[in-house]
Chains A and B, each alone.
Chain A
Amino acid sequence: DAGITQSPRHKVTETGTPVTLRCHQTENHRYMYWYRQDPGHGLRLIHYSYGVKDTDKGEVSDGYSVSRSKTEDFLLTLESATSSQTSVYFCAISEYRVYEQFFGPGTRLTVL
């Protein structure tokens, strides 16, 4: 299995609070991604990174920011969480942008 960990695995927070999710990889892959998974929508891309300090927006980026200060770490921040951001968040990595991605175990976030 690809070495990808996510923390925390579960989090419950209140509307308006900031939240940061962490993704850590040991594979030295160039690309890292954050997705959210919601019933009936599959996975939707929030942001991705193509190198240290190089990031770009995905399909559903509003309300989220990311940072990548080291190759192995990719952080997703919800500046002010809303109930619509209740979801399961997955981190993924890949060596090349168009090829297969490898997924972390996910973080279940509940915003009350």
Chain B
Amino acid sequence: AQSVTQLDSQVPVFEEAPVELRCNYSSSVSVYLFWYVQYPNQGLQLLLKYLSGSTLVKGINGFEAEFNKSQTSFHLRKPSVHISDTAEYFCAVSDDGDMRFGAGTRLTVKP
């Protein structure tokens, strides 16, 4: 079964700074990759997804992610964060089986 590792449990950053949230997964022939965001006391909301095609994927709220097959990574980036981006972010991977989630990265944007 797939496994997902989010390399940072917490990422503090100042407003308007760039941010990268890292995600690695165990290898597979073909995978589908997702990033979700969870605001306090809410469910998960899809940020972006990679199913096939271009390895650079753009999502909502100015986020993007790059699929790197050789490094089995799917890192999430944003060039300039806002206070409102403070939330928990989950990387998820699915192949022919269940969707597996990372443990999450708490992004805290400070003024």
Whether the pair B43, A104 counts as a contact (CB closer than 8 A) is yes
In angstroms, how far is the closest chain B Cβ from the Cβ of A66?
Answer: 15
Whether A98 sits at the interface, judged by CB under 8 Å, is: yes
Asked whether A101 lies within 8 Å of B98 as measured between CB atoms, the reply is no
In the complex, are the beta carbons of B95 and A98 less than 8 A apart?
Answer: yes
Q: Is the CB of A99 within 8 A of B104?
A: no
Any chain A CB within 8 A of the CB of B103?
yes
B contact residues around A99 at 8 Å (CB): 32, 49, 51, 94
Given the contacts A100-B46, A104-B43, A58 and B98 also touching, CB distance less than 8 Å: yes
Let me know if A101 and B99 touch, CB within 8 A.
yes
Shortest C-beta distance, B7 to chain A (Å), equals 14
Pairwise interchain contact A103-B101, C-beta atoms closer than 8 A: no
Interface size on B, residues (CB 8 A): 23
Report if A105 contacts B (CB, 8 A). yes
- Complex A-B, nearest 3 residue pairs according to Cβ-Cβ distance, in ascending order: A103-B43, A42-B101, A103-B44
Contact residues of A with B, CB < 8 Å?
A: 4, 40-45, 48, 58-59, 90, 92, 97-106
CB<8 Å pairs between A and B, sample of 26: A4-B43, A40-B9, A40-B103, A41-B103, A42-B90, A42-B101, A44-B101, A45-B99, A48-B98, A90-B44, A92-B44, A98-B32, A98-B94, A98-B99, A99-B32, A99-B49, A99-B51, A99-B94, A100-B34, A100-B46, A103-B43, A103-B44, A103-B45, A105-B42, A105-B43, A106-B42
